[in-house]
Amino acid sequence: MEDYLEHLNEAQRLAVLASDGPVMIIAGAGSGKTRVLTYRIAHLIGNGVDPFNILALTFTNKAARSMKEKIVNLVGKDATNIWMGTFHSIFARILRIEAEKLGYTSNFTIYDTDDSKSLIRTILGEQQLDDKRYKPDSVLNRISGAKNNLYSVKEYMEDLQLQSDDIQSGKPKMGLLYELYTKRCFNANAMDFDDLLYKTYVLLRDYPEALHKYQHKFKYILVDEFQDTNFAQYVVIRRLGAAFENICVVGDDAQSIYAFRGANIQNILNFAKDYPDLKTFKLEQNYRSTQNIVSVANNIIINNKAQLKKEVWTQNGIGEKVRLIKAMSDNEEGSMVAHYIFLSKVNNNLRNIDFAILYRTNAQSRSIEEALRKSNIPYRIFGGLSFYKRKEIKDLLAYFRLSINHKDEEALKRIINYPTRGIGKTTIEKLLVYASDADKSVWEIISNIKDYKDIGLSSPVMVKIQDFVTMIRSYHLAIKTDSAWDAASHIAKSTGILKELYDDKTPEGVSRYENIQELLNAINEFSEKPQADQDGEIIPNTLEEFVKDVALLTDADADDPEDNDRVSLMTVHAAKGLEFPEVFVVGMEENLFPSQMALNSRADLEEERRLFYVAVTRAKTKLTLAYATTRYRWGNLTSCEPSRFLEEINPDFIEQGFINPKSKDNFDLLKDRNSFANPGTVPKNFGNNQAKNIPLTDDFIGDDTSNLQVGMEVEHQRFGRGKVLHLEGKGNDIKAVIFFQTTGQKQLLLKFAKLKIHSS
């Protein structure tokens, strides 16, 4: 049992052995945090702690599954009985057991963000409120903030500061919307993701027997990524751990980057104040990155005032210095990144999967994608539309949800007339308004539609509604009695969804049909895997259990595609927790990174710096930072300045021959731009020679190009003199292919390009 301790360094070993009492483990990037957490749980079990008494909270289901597998390998199958998962999945599990105490049934629906916004839009329409002023996004964020700060509707209404803020922002009805939203969710037997935290808090606050039960069940509590917890999560953790105070939190304040989601860095900064007898361990040895990359990261984060001091170090090799690219535009930035990826693959025998390109905002991916496509480099964008967010998937899942929970209003709205069955929009609106006025669920109305003739529906429509109700009830029985696969395939076929998508032979239609087949495949696979409840007892693989699991999935839990040898493109936020041999961080410019929105306070700026720290520490062997001097933003070409964060890096760690923001001597990497058109052509002296930049001036005036012809000589303000090789298109969309003497071949749209025409 003790062999695993030999795989730990001294700091890790001490953190694992400190079993009892409050413990905080400050884990620097790449310091083996997951190993320590895994071994700590294994050590508890190995020393007689019942796995049923251990609660381990993570931020992704994938991380929980991986960790549990490792623990099972260390101590045996009994470790499967640990309560391990995300906050939301664990709290949902508790709430399904205790649902009746709060007035819910155990099969309550979990609304995702789209469901919540749809409900808010419905309420806004009923209240005749302007959705331009009360934007569903901002309303949902306000409600989410209230719940995460544990404000009930009543407390929200009575808080003078909150009411004053709403009035000043021009949204005095926000409290009413919170009240109506809460009531509608309750009537629909539904909770949103924030409710999973808030309702657990209410359960432990209002029901002493439930508090006692779970305090004595979870004798040891471990929390991963503690720096990302919000106020509600921390309060619940403290209450659950109050009986034994065997609370171990693991995290890195330097990687707290989710304030926009409600994460509160003060939870980790002030943890010692809440637990005076706290034992603190610092994991400062980095096993991931080279010395140069670790030094750059330390250079950056030392500038933050709000932090728990640590000095990350590594015994890894010195490694290459950081490459710093200066590009003239965002498109050129993309071309240069693609070029370097090609070079590195050839020279270092790397695969596409070894590279990641990180950016501050999703909009930056466009120029990167174009450059990668031109270079035939396959890539994958993280954070795009996930599988379970696609329309056809949500449609079929809505049938499953309504069949399980008849009160699920959002699911009902989505599929009552899909596929089309003659229950139109006007009918649905009448039903929604009537149900709201009667303070009932829509299902209560439509399941007894003959008793509600005062709604004003025609007899044929009422018959169609009755048929719909009968169909949903039959699905409910199928779900109760059949396997997940049998019930799901029956519903997909009998609703007509499969046929409608199969009949659509457009590429989009074929793709949607294939997605439905993939969903059914996933359900079939689920049906064949044994499932167990919290006590280890085998439970049937029903469709209801599958839907519960799907409701708790996050983008981070998505499976990798089969063809995963692709360059990874993602925001820095999405990259947290990942690592790659080579990392490119693009868009290192003021007002972009750091974001313009983060320049109003020190706290916001320090979060941006932590975000940059996260970006840097994703790299194992090679780090490239890039910025452009001009970039299209909001449709306009704007001049850009290098990010202030670049100036915080010691020049000793910057590769010689590249741009050093602190130096007056700016090196130009663009000597041989022809090579970017053909990545297979590698200039022998690439990066060593300097080329004179063509200065930009405001007095450059282009000529009328309506009579431009092939063979003419032209001059461009940036690209210099060139010759027209080809013209195509007509009207305002004429494109010119021009070979420039200094920059090679370019394709320009004449209506935007300023060209002076020279007589030959």
One-letter amino acid at 617 equals: T
DSSP assignments along 555-611, one per residue: GGGPPPPS---SEEEEEHHHHTT--EEEEEE---BTBBTTBGGGSS-HHHHHHHHHH
Is residue 33 annotated as part of the catalytic site, yes or no?
yes
Is residue 168 annotated as part of the catalytic site, yes or no?
no
Is residue 321 annotated as part of the catalytic site, yes or no?
no
98, 192, 194, 224: the active-site residue = 224
Can you tell me the distance from the alpha carbon of 324 to that of 303, in angstroms, rounded to the nearest whole number? 20
Contact 92, 545 (CB under 8 A): no
Contact 81, 41 (CB under 8 A): no
34, 113, 531, 745: the active-site residue = 34
Region for residue 536 given its phi and psi (left: phi exceeds 0; alpha: psi -120 to 50; beta: otherwise) = left
192, 195, 225, 410: the active-site residue = 225
Nearest to 596 by CA among 644, 637, 636, 630: 644
Cβ contacts of 70 within 8 Å, gap of 6 or more: 38
Q: Give the CA angle between residues 89, 91, 93 to the nearest 5°.
A: 70
255, 285, 617, 621: the active-site residue = 255
394, 618, 631, 671: the active-site residue = 618
Contact 57, 220 (CB under 8 A): no
Contact 59, 251 (CB under 8 A): no
- List the structure tokens of 454: 């005062």
Contact 641, 341 (CB under 8 A): no
Distance of CA 627 to the CA centre of its chain: 24
Region for residue 744 given its phi and psi (left: phi exceeds 0; alpha: psi -120 to 50; beta: otherwise) = left
Is residue 209 annotated as part of the catalytic site, yes or no?
no
Is residue 618 annotated as part of the catalytic site, yes or no?
yes
Contact 190, 405 (CB under 8 A): yes
Nearest to 216 by CA among 192, 242, 191, 234: 242
Is residue 225 annotated as part of the catalytic site, yes or no?
yes
| Residue 254: DSSP 8-state | G
33, 345, 414, 512: the active-site residue = 33
List active site positions: 33-34, 224-225, 255, 618
